Amino acid sequence: MINLKDTRIKKKDRENRKKKKADPQNLKIREVPKASSALFFKYNTQLGPPYHVLIDTNFINFSIKNKLDIIQSMMDCLYAKCIPYITDCVMAELEKLGSKYRIALRIAKDPRFERLPCMHKGTYADDCLVKRVTEHKCYIVATCDKDLKRRIRKVPGVPIMYLQQHKFSIERMPDAFGAPRT
């Protein structure tokens, strides 16, 4: 790199290359998302029995393939009452999949499952679940989708339930039975 005092650099170029100090009048304003009041460090204080579990489409499909009753297996994993929630986007996704997934659709229409209405455009279930979880930290997300898990891990304080060795397991949940050992 050429030194600023080199004779080959003209005076006007030397002035342009000097670093300008930041003007206190023109400070950049950044918008940082506010931390939830439910979080105590990384521990989510809003989580507690009865647990509210948001279910994804592929979680229902994998539960059927592994012959697991969703509600009973959730209770076995968490040792507490669980209320499964299904959003309109997940229902629409199951309906779009057609006759191959009619058993999953019938399970999703079970009256024990609570329905959550969606007020946004489109029916992409992953975006819907991530948005709902970032707004309300009281949910556990049940999914087997790697991309959705990666997106939810970026949201602090939200546990993820998934299938592992033919049973439900949970990660990022303090003192949970099915939680993997770290």
How does pLDDT run along the chain (182 residues), one tens digit per residue? Answer: 777 777 777 777 766 655 566 666 777 777 777 777 777 766 788 888 899 999 999 999 999 999 999 999 999 999 899 999 999 999 999 999 989 999 999 999 999 999 999 988 887 899 999 999 998 889 999 999 999 999 999 998 899 999 999 999 999 877 655 555 55
Looking at residue 22, its pLDDT comes to: 64
* CB-CB contact of 93 with 125 (8 Å): yes
Could you check whether the bond before residue 180 is cis, i.e. omega within 30 degrees of 0? no
What are the chain's domains?
Answer: 46-171 (3.40.50.1010)
Looking at residue 29, its pLDDT comes to: 76
Looking at residue 20, its pLDDT comes to: 60
d(CA 162, CA 138): 18
